[in-house]
Amino acid sequence: MNIKTTERIYRACILAVMIVLGMSVAGCSHKAARLFARTQPDGWNAQPISIVCRFAPDADLDPATRTPVGDEGYYLYILNEAADWNYSDASSLVFSIWQRPWAHSWLILESPRDRLEFGHTGDLGITKPRFHDGVYQKIRDEDPNPIAYLWQTMSDGQLQIGKPNRPPTFVWRMPITKRRHQLIHDYVMQRKYDQFGVRTNNCTDFVAEAAALAGINLIHRMRLTVPQETKVMGKTLRVWTDPQYRILEYSTPEVLDADLRQLARLGIGSDVTEWYLSLKS
């Protein structure tokens, strides 16, 4: 293995250890999600964060089936590109992120008149180093808390309009009313997009907030308990010294993907992935 290859693998492993979330390009076929891990000897733990109630008190539901209903021709679509990361232990996550570094979530609003596609992108490296670059630099500088860079907020976020340059791995559709459609449209148009972060205000937060306006609460957040130190290619790396960085909570397409698939199986919304992929650009 040459020096260049070793450096590339080393950086990819550091990126994985620091749990840089998927918010950019790439795509892959879907596999069974492995999103939960009991506490490991090194302190590693991973678990999706549950929700209190699936539907809002004023949700538009069929009284017989308790599933969402809407006005004719009005729909909310959530499109997800999951990277199928394996959270069962730290080494599995390192390997899966090395293979598939990025993921993304976005939405479509449909009415009888039009179909509009939106998303929230960021971490472009315009004003500050990208999250993985910032963490890597802190490790090279022997910072006692390199993971702290993930607590930064970037100011290079943007509103994505139209299809992104990668296909989703899953597309979920839910009927909505005309009133809900207008609420979500106003939210998309008025929302601020310049702020973008790992722990909040990212692409998955964006679609979860839109879904809440449609009356449904989605499971989309992950809680990681991160070891204080970890080994990468035989070298021990300090992840954090200050215990405030021991637990990382964030929204991720991985958790959202699993929830949307479960909803479709339960008859809450539907799987329209094949339909979307058949559309012409």
Burial 241-267 (b: 16+ CB within 10 A, else e): eeeebeebebbbbbbbbbbbbebbeee
- Look up residue 179 and give its amino acid: R
Give the residue among 40, 42, 49 at the shortest CA–CA distance from 254: 49
In the chain, the N- to C-terminal Cα span, in Å, equals 41
- Tell me which H or E stretch contains 207: helix 203-213
Rounded CA separation 144/240 (Å): 6
Structure confidence at residue 281 (pLDDT): 60
Give the residue among 46, 42, 21, 20 at the shortest CA–CA distance from 33: 46
Rounded CA separation 185/110 (Å): 10
Structure confidence at residue 102 (pLDDT): 77
Given a cut of 50, the residues of the chain with pLDDT beneath it are 1-32
Q: What is the CA radius of gyration of the chain?
A: 19
The DSSP call for residue 269 is: S
